[in-house]
């Protein structure tokens, strides 16, 4: 059961680009498994966006991240390799999905580099 009412869900127009970049390094089977994990992570944070996410800092202070694995059964002692960046607007009860990408702070493909430079005024209603 969702603790927070969600009136609308908005995705960033470049979310498709995120999916295509991830798919480039996966087989079709791996990508389908990733989609399953993504849907699970998204459903989880939509139930309680503040409890199930970690608030970001600095210029991304309004945004939250959910860490998750790209595989259903990860190897023991491995860390989640993906980040879902989202925001819940308490006033309008809207949920925004900004990005999904690999956490790799040393490259331009880092999820944090991507979202920092992404236009946060354009959205597609889901």
- pLDDT digits 0-9 by tens, 45-76: 999 999 989 999 888 889 999 999 999 999 99
Determine the angle formed by the axes of helices 28-47 and 15-24, rounding to 10 degrees. 140
Residue 2 has pLDDT above 80, yes or no: no
Q: Is the pTM of this model over 0.75?
A: yes
> What are the boundaries of each domain within the chain?
19-119
Residue 116: the pLDDT is 87
The percent of residues in the chain predicted with pLDDT above 70, rounded, is: 94
Could you write out the three-class secondary structure of 42-104? HHHHHHCCCCCCEECCHHHCCCEEEEECCCCCCCCCCCCCEEEEEEEECCCCEEEEEEEEECC
**Fold type of domain 19-119:** YaeB-like fold (3.30.2310)
């Amino acid at each position: 059961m969702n603790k927070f009412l969600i009136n609308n869900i908005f995705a960033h127009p470049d979310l498709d680009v995120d999916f295509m970049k991830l798919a480039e390094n996966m087989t079709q089977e791996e990508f389908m498994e990733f989609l399953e994990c993504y849907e699970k992570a998204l459903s989880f944070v939509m139930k309680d966006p503040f409890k199930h996410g970690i608030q970001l800092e600095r210029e991304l202070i309004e945004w939250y991240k959910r860490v998750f694995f790209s595989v259903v059964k990860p190897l023991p002692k491995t860390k989640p390799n993906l980040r879902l960046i989202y925001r819940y607007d308490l006033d309008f009860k809207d949920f925004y999905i900004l990005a999904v990408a690999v956490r790799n702070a040393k490259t331009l493909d880092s999820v944090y580099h991507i979202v920092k430079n992404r236009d946060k005024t354009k959205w597609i209603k889901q």
